[in-house]
Structure 1
């Protein structure tokens, strides 16, 4: 890489056209100017200047180096301008939310409305399970996420947003059935990326004697799907059971074909907004966070 100090001296000399005046402008000695030019020519392997007394003319190679040096100066100026330019309504926001949440259904349309008002504010939204979101935040693949448990404070900065009920969902035909672990075993689990996590929370906090000793990993799998909008489809057709947040049931078009078990005690799921610890996000993320809070809080 060519020394930027030599390049600056070279460009100044070409612009001024005189060694003595260049030295005065750069607060250098004339021999210092000459030394910079000599070192630059040695680094390039070519004569860059034709000397006419104390004046100079560029060689063909000198023209190329002069143009290169000015391009470097322009690039550096553009970089400094870009670094200082932090527009709250411009740029890409990389965001993810838990795959078993109905957040995607409520947040994404609002992000699109935000982009309609601010066309340069673009959201890359991913739907994924909790562990994948946290892993991608740590690796810098996304910058902001919503998960359903408070992550390790030494790695993440988190803020609790809200909470909503978790629902044990069965086919409508089970509405008059006493729901026990045996019933759930016979139905089979409609598995999704956060199914075991939700089921474990439900068993731990529902206070139902018939369910509280359940093992979230002990059920036969009736079906597996990782698309939020499709998780409840088999249950509406009389197949299996699962656990999902209330918002997922509310967003399902055939919810009249579902039976929501009433627990002894309501089971609440907390939602956390997370980012990498010590990572200062650009201002555009504050715009996104404000919109998320408007929707969820």
Structure 2
């Protein structure tokens, strides 16, 4: 490694052309300047100055070092500003959440990026376990989860509630037990979990989601309601996913006697502070989640 202080002393000497004036500029002694140059020569194994009594000229090796050192010293001089820079509307922010939350937030965060083009949003949809793993491995800056993390490395705080909804084809007026059995269940990665949460408190006959005939499955959050809209079955989904469906007239949402909601948690690495750009994204996300 080249000592940056020695390098700065050498470059200043080349520019000033005089040991005494270099020492004055750098608030050093003349012998200190000579010592820095000598140590640099020993470290590089080349002669940087051709000494002629009290005068000197720069050797070919010294000229090459001086040319290369300009960029290095310029970069080092700007390093503190780059390290300390923390702007609220510039840089990449990596977000991960379950699909329903993503459908609610992604468009609004893109609108935020349109206002501030230097703010780059990277958004990934994933189930809770993958969100938690990404936070632990520092692959994302913030995550939204519908259950609290069990890891000591992840901090979570509740920020919103999201209703779970029973959704059938539009022509289903009364979703009694026999109607649901006749329709069959459109499953998805969280389908059984959501069905257990919502249907258990509302149907005496319900024991587990496996009681229903399986009528379909999709792991794409935006496509789960497609088979429902075509009369192929019913499902249970979070409200944000239902709100995002493009053809609401082809489905029917049924209020149940015992409403059920999931708590949405904002999560991040426990030991990491939040950069201003991440705080900007969080503030925008919470504005829409609270609507």
TM-score category, normalised to shorter length? 0.7 to 0.9
2:242 aligned counterpart, secondary structure: helix
1:114, distance to aligned residue in structure 2 (A): 1.6
Q: Contact (CA 8 Å) 1:208, 1:264: kept in 2 or not?
A: no
Could you tell me which residue of structure 2 aligns to residue 33 of structure 1?
A: 33
State whether structure 2 residue 210 is matched by structure 1 residue 210. Answer: no
May I ask how many residue pairs the two structures share in their alignment? 290
Q: Contact (CA 8 Å) 1:158, 1:275: kept in 2 or not?
A: yes
Question: Which runs of no fewer than 5 residues in structure 2 stay unpaired?
Answer: none
In structure 1, what is the Cα distance between the partners aligned to 2:173 and 2:46?
88
In structure 1, what is the Cα distance between the partners aligned to 2:211 and 2:243?
28
1:228 aligned counterpart, secondary structure: coil
> 1:221/1:134 Cα in 2 relative to 1: closer, same or farther (>3 Å)?
farther
> 1:217/1:70 Cα in 2 relative to 1: closer, same or farther (>3 Å)?
farther
Could you tell me which residue of structure 2 aligns to residue 135 of structure 1?
A: 133
In structure 1, what is the Cα distance between the partners aligned to 2:184 and 2:56?
87
> 1:64/1:187 Cα in 2 relative to 1: closer, same or farther (>3 Å)?
farther
In structure 2, what is the Cα distance between the partners aligned to 1:173 and 1:225?
22
Q: Contact (CA 8 Å) 1:19, 1:54: kept in 2 or not?
A: no
In structure 1, what is the Cα distance between the partners aligned to 2:257 and 2:197?
14
In structure 2, what is the Cα distance between the partners aligned to 1:217 and 1:74?
67
Q: Deviations over 1:110-166 (max 9, x none)?
A: 222222222212211112211111211221221012111122362222221211211
RMSD: 2.7
Could you tell me which residue of structure 1 aligns to residue 260 of structure 2?
A: 267
Could you tell me which residue of structure 1 aligns to residue 168 of structure 2?
A: 170
1:173, distance to aligned residue in structure 2 (A): 5.4
Could you tell me which residue of structure 2 aligns to residue 237 of structure 1?
A: 230
Question: Which runs of no fewer than 5 residues in structure 1 stay unpaired?
Answer: none
In structure 2, what is the Cα distance between the partners aligned to 1:198 and 1:177?
17
Q: Contact (CA 8 Å) 1:111, 1:123: kept in 2 or not?
A: yes
Q: TM-score, normalised by structure 2?
A: 0.87
